[in-house]
Chain A
């Protein structure tokens, strides 16, 4: 029993290790490059940079909790952004007064969210009703979504937005970057969904044992569809931020984000086999990655070396987690059936 009791104390939670890593990386970078890393300018720029892929990581997290994955997040993000961008360029004149362009912007946002939800619905149906393995279903659908975006744009960037569009990605409210606010909101929403709703509890339980979920008369199909719709919605928000920050939309933006999102979710302690994962872990993983990435940038480490370091970090954390998991399993295996 002491084993279980100790796993509940804060210091032994996997998230605590992440906190230490985040603080350590932050400290290290501050020491190595105090005047640049700790500058207000750098801190703000970091806060603008990470929300877009961090939101994709949140989308990844909820699908991973069910033991699935969503490889279409970037495809969904770009398709949503392209649709919003087309609406904006077709109907909103860049010279339009702000009061008018806001209406078109809201319309574009609504359209983007609908596309996200619809894409999620497609993924959810493929996984739930057709029983496809999520990794293949979303790999395929991601290509389809990207394909639609290419077909709509001919592969080139859509640009020429009214100034109001920049609010999503570049503005600050009370000194806090809007993307960061959006990320914080979505993280809180996801946290509440997972810990305070019947749906969230079912998601975790299903991930822990899908067969037992079936035997417990859980409506698995509906639950899975909801999971992928949420992932789709989150992806479309990320798409809007990317669009605003780039002041354009293109079918192949953020191609490195897919891997990054998976990486962050796993770093954040989400069990890729389902059944365990906390939003706080993902947030800490995002911060660690961003600190590391910015810091290395300032130290003028080449991009190749940066990828090497990211990969090493991922493996390190996974090995540590595996050891913890094995030890935990070992202690359970000893209890007789």
Chain B
């Protein structure tokens, strides 16, 4: 072990990170050798992002030592970390969409030379060299926003290489890639490793990167629960370590025979984001809509709730047409929508838990112009209790809650309005494992009460655990309709990314 530590590029020992009483990381050891590819696996909330933040200098560790390139780093910030060769490629790549490929690749390098003027020729040279290193052809003058996702990722990799990266950390590198693109990425990773560049994959979907990795580290609830050569792991054992459960979640029980059509969507089309989306939703049915990042699933979800105005097509709920492009009309038709990004779209973070629920029911508790405060509070508290929100004080700001509890608050707001159709966009994004299973329970339970539920997600186990039917989207169209109770995860993954 000691020799491991001596040669390691990254050497973390007994790293503990606490946030206001919550332990995000608990005495984790973590090493990366030069030229090694490591899979850092874990569910949302397991602590993997925290670990990355510590390595990249975004957050300091509460306890433990960090060594990068053999040097102990008691004080780290993103600049020190980058200077030592640690480069993070985030899921959105953090590129400048309006600049050219060459400018994006050379940007960081040019800044670090402290030249007063921007040199166009040098820029192109730097970019050309980086692209050559991974053997990729991309037009240097193309504006980055015009590139497909996979090429943007390559530009981000080249930018890291141009900045003398010794370690490239890739956050969810495959979520937006097709199978072919994934294979190309694997080839590039092999090339980088041969040159001595280490790679960390951060993901909760690892099958694709498992074969180019040497080592797997699994985190769960802030603890390292498994570590070993990649050959020792397969998808199943990874899932087991990540979730800590042997028993898979139960699929939903069948939709009641003769259930009526609740919602009918006909040829919904929006130029540039989705086209010809048609489907039915029965009472008590959970319908999944999935697709890669950029497949149009989120736009469709928003269109169902009037947040995106479609160019053509219609939505009817219980036989009545719902005006499109108007959230209030959708809400009047008793459609509910729990957005993907809880923090910016879903919740009023600085406002109390109670208010966050009550905002949906203000009119129902108004008499003679004034609010019936007691009634409002009672009802909201009742919903919080029914959804088992763990909150010591309902008057505390909602941002004091954990992700899982926040999501329940968002759900409670809509449930208190007795929706007929509930659109859940990424219902368990950023939610810990235990809460995730609970949320799936809630979804199945609501469906059994006759609510029609649409789950938009790219979390395949989640879809399988909740959905009766799954629609697969690609390039803005529905390309497949699958029976959620019989399809396997591998089959679904293949259809998604083929």
Contact = CB atoms under 8 A, between A and B. Distances in A.
Interface in A79-101: none
A215 interface: yes
Interface string B334-367: 0001010001111111110001001110110110
A337 B343 contact: yes
Interface string A191-203: 0100011100110
A197 B45 CA distance: 38
B340 to A, nearest CB: 10
Contact of A215 (B337, B393, B430): B337
A261 B237 CA distance: 65
Given A198-B363, A216-B359, A332 B400 contact: yes
Contacts of A219: 328
A219 B24 CA distance: 39
A179 B287 CA distance: 62
Given A205-B351, A332-B400, A196 B327 contact: no
A215 B359 contact: no
B117 interface: no
Contact of B351 (A1, A275, A336): A275
A275 B337 CA distance: 23
A208 B22 contact: no
A275 B351 CA distance: 8
Interface string A140-167: 0000000000000000000000000000
B442 to A, nearest CB: 20
Contact of A211 (B24, B328, B345, B396): B345
A335 to B, nearest CB: 5
A201 B362 contact: yes
B392 interface: yes
Contacts of B362: 198, 201-202
A5 B400 CA distance: 12
B349 A336 contact: no
A204 interface: yes
B273 interface: no
A44 interface: no
B428 interface: no
Given A4-B400, A217-B328, A201 B345 contact: no
A208 B392 CA distance: 22
Contacts of B402: 335-336
A45 interface: no
Interface string A1-40: 1001100100000000000000000000000000000000
Nearest to B349: A209
A214 interface: yes
Given A1-B400, A334-B20, A335-B22, A205 B328 contact: no
Query: What's the interface size class on A, roughly?
Result: 20 to 34
A180 B362 CA distance: 33
B172 to A, nearest CB: 16
Contacts of B358: 201
A204 B397 CA distance: 14
B498 to A, nearest CB: 33
A96 B403 CA distance: 71
Contacts of B370: 192, 196-197
Interface string A210-225: 0111111111000000
B369 A197 contact: yes
A335 B366 contact: no
A212 B345 contact: yes
A115 to B, nearest CB: 25
A4 B397 contact: yes
Given A275-B351, A334-B20, A337-B403, A201 B396 contact: no
A217 B347 contact: no
18 contacts: A4-B396, A5-B396, A192-B370, A196-B370, A198-B362, A198-B371, A202-B359, A202-B362, A208-B348, A208-B351, A214-B327, A216-B360, A217-B328, A275-B350, A276-B350, A332-B397, A336-B24, A337-B430
Interface of B: 19-20, 22, 24, 45, 50, 307, 327-328, 330-331, 337, 339, 343-351, 355, 358-360, 362-363, 365-366, 369-371, 373, 392-393, 395-397, 399-400, 402-403, 413, 430
Given A209-B349, A212-B347, A337-B403, 13 more contacts: A4-B393, A198-B365, A205-B359, A208-B351, A209-B347, A212-B344, A212-B346, A213-B348, A215-B345, A217-B331, A275-B348, A334-B20, A335-B22
Which 8 residue pairs of A and B lie closest in terms of their CB atoms, listed nearest first?
Answer: A217-B331, A198-B362, A334-B20, A4-B396, A208-B348, A334-B19, A217-B327, A209-B348
